[in-house]
Chain A
């Protein structure tokens, strides 16, 4: 018996070791330098977008349109004093920023960002490491990301930092479950955990074959969970400044603080890229099969790469858009949403989707046919409406009083009523 993984590894055209090594190094250097510059520019983009949403100009003093602002910020952070609290456990205190930052970078290793290129030296896949177990790798690495924040909170030896770290660990572990669940329908449709295959599976019918159309609820849950995973508003409780000063990075200064900041943006880009790959067709150009078939020329590679980064940047913008719109959740609301809403919804949805896929396959529709995708889309539209109208009315985000039992509420109300009556009676007697 041969493992399917081995077959897949052998299916890629053979490359010489030298070409493979050289190509990998070039991809690493190009991708990560672009990525880091991009992340730096995103800090500017965030400030600009927040400014536009508040009818302001945003940073516009350093360079044209403030484009050199990230450089100035970086320079400032490097020049600043690195402070070490007396009580902090220094080795982990120093290690934690890097641990927050590295997983976000590592995830990019498996994300395919363009169509493969048949270069004169053999086929070059446009992901740093086209692993056949790509998706599992991402889940594994994403779980490591929480350590940076937890250890930063713990090693600072500060009550606010510790609370921030604790919150973050609880939050990230809770939402990781929903996030993992949200990807199961995608894997069901793709029948594979390789991100390349997931992208391939979404090609053909344009947006109809995107997983966002065929597993809409999974996408919505993934979206919400991604916000929680990256500690972005409305789920940025680990650094809720009204309660925790600055949460886990209260004690950090200079470049170490900057690392957390960069890590946040790096995580955001990674989650956006993942969302584009899993739910929005990845690099595939919709409505045409031109980009999916040989010959894989350089122009196809460039166009698909551009499209992929376009999609990714849209989701980055979406992150910022949400951040400057929605206020922070309360901690119990966050936990209730994760455990009481998203998890049961996803469990139910997986069952429904699996049944639907099975039924459609039994009925003889091919997974790439428009009937198959259309039927799933119809099912999803019905489910989304049921979910929004069924769960939204005061039930998705629970107000504080909803934790009161109905009987307790009535008892309180009657007590208050009795007291008022007694008071009026006393006044009348007086």
Chain B
């Protein structure tokens, strides 16, 4: 033989097709009486982890305005560069976002924006049903971000590592 193939004896004496078949049949029969593991998706939904990081949500103040003060930390920290922020200022000198857009296609859902936000305004959400009819639909503007209602991610807290 050109290459050194090992030719081994197989343990014929210990192999049994009949016994293996019967064992297999016992196994499959056992599974007939077990509960299915299927989650029937549209009716049943998987319970998400409290730290699930999904599409974003902007929290609002009591009067319905976005909490964002346009500090510019989130576009700076964003590793995917998916946040577009144009700051504005009103007569009292309060800063607010003129444009706040998140491109959910570029987003890598790292959650840095939520972590860095000093006002706890921008959050990643516990949400995963994101179908849209066009690619443009995935650029969420401020209106869309404030209109979201899904629960938000509870970020990992170094003081409470197990979330207790």
Contact = CB atoms under 8 A, between A and B. Distances in A.
B28 A325 contact: yes
Contact of A394 (B13, B25, B27, B32): B13
Interface stretch (A358-366, A374-382, A408-416): A408-416
B7 A412 contact: yes
A388 interface: yes
Interface stretch (B36-44, B46-54, B93-101, B110-118): B36-44
A328 interface: no
Interface stretch (A48-56, A183-191, A202-210, A273-281): A48-56
A416 B1 contact: yes
Given A55-B36, A57-B36, A392 B29 contact: no
A415 B3 CA distance: 10
Contacts of B5: 416
Contacts of B38: 55-57
B1 A419 contact: yes
Interface residues of A, number: 32
Contacts of B161: none
Given A396-B17, A396-B18, A419-B1, A55 B31 contact: yes
A56 B36 contact: yes
A326 interface: yes
A322 B4 contact: no
A399 interface: yes
B7 to A, nearest CB: 5
A49 B28 CA distance: 10
Given A393-B12, A393-B16, A326 B21 contact: yes
Interface string B112-142: 0000000000000000000000000000000
A52 B31 contact: yes
A53 B40 CA distance: 17
A52 B4 contact: no
Interface string A387-430: 01000111111010110000001001101100110010000000
Chain B interface size range: 20 to 34
A324 to B, nearest CB: 6
Contacts of A121: none
Interface string B41-79: 000000000000000000000000000000000000000
A384 to B, nearest CB: 10
B18 A388 contact: yes
Contacts of A57: 36, 38, 40
Contacts of B92: none
A395 B24 CA distance: 19
A394 B12 contact: yes
Given A52-B32, A53-B31, A321 B15 contact: no
A57 B5 CA distance: 46
A324 B28 contact: yes
B10 interface: yes
B16 A392 contact: yes
Contact of A322 (B25, B32, B34): B25
Nearest to A324: B28
A420 B4 contact: yes
B10 A55 contact: no
B19 interface: yes
Contacts of A401: 10
Contacts of B4: 416, 419-420, 423
Contacts of B17: 392, 396-397
Nearest to A420: B4
A394 B15 contact: yes
B6 interface: yes
Given A55-B37, A56-B38, A419-B4, A393 B28 contact: no
B18 A51 contact: no
Contacts of B36: 51-52, 55-57
Nearest to A387: B18
Given A396-B17, A412-B7, A53 B32 contact: yes
A399 B10 contact: yes
Centre residue among A54, A402, A409, A412 by max chain B CB count within 10 A? A54
B6 A416 contact: yes
A61 to B, nearest CB: 10
A326 B32 CA distance: 16
5 contacts: A53-B31, A321-B25, A322-B25, A416-B6, A416-B7
Interface of A: 49, 51-57, 60, 321-322, 324-326, 388, 392-397, 399, 401-402, 409, 412-413, 415-416, 419-420, 423
Given A52-B32, A325-B28, A392-B18, 6 more contacts: A53-B29, A55-B37, A321-B29, A393-B12, A393-B16, A415-B1
